[in-house]
Amino acid sequence: MKVNKIMALRLILSMILIVGFSSCSKKSSSKGTSQGTGWNVDSKKGSPSKKQEAGPGLVFVEGGTFTMGKVQDDVMHDWNNTPNQQHIQSFYMDETEVTNAMYLEYLDWTKKVTPPTDERYKDVYPGAVPDTLVWRNRLGYNETMTNNYLRHPSYSQYPVVGVNWIQAVEFAKWRTNRVNEALLEKNGYLKKNAKTLDVTADSNFDTDTYLISPTSTYGGDAQIVLPGKYADKKGGIRQPKAPKGGKVVPPTNIYAQRSSGILLPEYRLPTEAEWEYAAAADVGQREYNIYKGQKKYPWSGSYTRSGKRQNKGDQLANFKQGNGDYGGIAGWSDDGADITNQVKKYPANDFGLYDMSGNVAEWVMDVYRPIVDNEANDFNYFRGNQYTKNKIGKDGKVKIIGKDSIQYATLSNGKKIATSFPGQIAQVPVDENETYLRQNFDKSDNIDYRDGDKQSTRYYNFGDSETDSKKLKDDRAMYNSPKHNVKVDSLGNMVRNYDKNNKRTTLIDNNVRVYKGGSWRDRAYWLDPAQRRYFPQDMATDYIGFRCAMSKVGAKSDKRKTARN
């Protein structure tokens, strides 16, 4: 009995010691205290959030592994789909395709800031406008869509079409800046409503410029670019009070930075691997750590019609069902549309994404190659990396693009598209300073890596040291595609040169991009998320649109995982 009392007393003392140590541990690792040095590194109230907020229009897609390129059918026999295992990092993706209403907001901003009536900006707005003539057909009457589809309010929530790949990329850049501009205004770092009342071509906002040189945004106007919580009533910097017997210490880091947790990563086109992973949404087929089979479409089952009681027999996507059948007979429409359809008219997939098959096909970032090189990489696969860095001027500062130095991409048809705007930082290719003795990359342009470079052609002589230094002749290049180009003669006239060479063997080059998903013009065969096609990046159609994506920073998922879910 006496022994039991002693044991009980020891147990109580042990529990007291454990509680005491755990409370000390909690105090030592309290919020704001460094676990490495014990310093109080974040004593300010309102510390930035550690979790990334989803940008406007985006839904979360948790990353994971999946089999890319696993098509159910391959009636085309084009040998461009070889199943391979890939892993995708978590990211965000637009819930729907970019609509006409969203794109018109971009056009209105562009027209206001860079008016086409100004000689310096005459090519900016026209270069952003979608090609509405894509609706025309030699033997079809489609003038109603040509004249109304982009701007009529009846089509405002329909996916935008007639947008080429370059225009889609520029829209994503614009969207990034507008979203971050609004976030900075909300947090007191920009003057309220400056984004609409004070913006001009030479006084506007760019995210990268703000991060590198905040006072260079909005033309360096201190009345617009504010020091956040350090701003006084007049827009200047509020100096803190001096402690007793001490000196005033001027505030530092008065502008928002990446470490502030306010600014979001850039909007961009999704990669092909991301798009296919998000469209397939195999998460709906998961049990524990395996997938229960491979879905043929973004929805479960092997059919395009719904089997649920409330909408049994309804088509689950907008696509062409047969020759001359784009929407069924009158009074009993199979999919509710004859051309494109309003977004969110069909059920979302298991990630909450709408129209990942049907309605319009979608641009992705990748340059097309017949084979996905999973031997070179199986994590966040992407072909098309062209690394750049900020251009530094003679004064040692970053070079900001002025209103007279806008850069344009001249398309093969002669149309110009602005690819840089005043207020942005000029970019140049990375050089030996970044690539020397690196093993992960050795040059700026990596599009042709292992598929299109000299070493991958059948004419390359591995024993000839001179071959490395010589450029292969055009007829010996791996992808011998036509080379159309446009030049301006000495009189300023545009000269279009159409390549009439009859020795061309392919349409593949570094300017063709992958597009995914079936469209209202496609048969059900193309609704399989693994199907892939390509199209010139400077051309547009009435059946290709796009949606944006955004990388996720931080944890793969913010939810606690168990073995079951």
Contact 327, 334 (CB under 8 A): yes
pLDDT of residue 346: 95
Lowest-confidence region among 35-49, 89-103, 158-172, 377-391: 35-49
pLDDT at 219: 87
Query: Is the model's pLDDT at 467 over the cut of 60?
Result: no
Mean pLDDT of 424-438: 96
Q: How far out from the chain centre does Cα 465 lie?
A: 41
What proportion of the chain, given as a percentage, has pLDDT over 90? 62
Six token digits for residue 295: 């879905």
- Label residue 200 by pLDDT band (50, 70, 90): very high
- Does residue 394 surpass a pLDDT of 50? yes
What are the pLDDT digits (tens) for 521-530? 999 999 999 9
With bands split at pLDDT 50, 70 and 90, how would you rate the model's confidence at 225? very high
pLDDT (mean) for 163-189: 96
Q: For residue 29, what pLDDT is reported? A: 44
For residue 16, pLDDT over 60 is answered with: no
168 and 162 in contact (C-beta within 8 Å)?
A: no
More confident of the two residues 464 and 205: 205
Q: Which of 385, 516, 417 is nearest to 97 (CA)?
A: 516
Cα separation of the two ends of the chain: 50
Contact between 207 and 263 (Cβ < 8 Å): yes
> What is the reported pLDDT for 27?
45
Looking at per-residue pLDDT, the higher value among 311 and 323 belongs to: 323
pLDDT at 233: 63
**Cα 524 from Cα 516, distance rounded (Å):** 13
For the cut 50, the answer to whether the pLDDT of residue 95 exceeds it is yes
For each of the domains in the chain, give its residue range(s) and CATH number, in order of start.
55-187+262-381+522-556 (3.90.1580.10), 448-509 (no CATH)
Report the C-alpha gap between 409 and 538 in whole angstroms. 9
**CB atoms near residue 122 (< 10 Å):** 14
Q: What is the mean pLDDT of residues 355-370?
A: 97
Q: How far is CA 334 from CA 259, 306, 346, 482, in A?
A: 51, 11, 12, 41
Asked if pLDDT for residue 351 goes beyond 70, the answer is yes
> For residue 142, what is the DSSP state?
-
Cβ 44 vs Cβ 252: under 8 Å:
no
Q: Which of 177-191, 198-212, 284-298 has the lowest mean pLDDT?
A: 284-298
pLDDT tens, residue by residue, 244-303: 666 666 667 789 999 999 999 999 999 999 999 999 999 888 877 788 877 889 998 889
Backbone angles phi, psi at 177, to 5 degrees: -65, -40
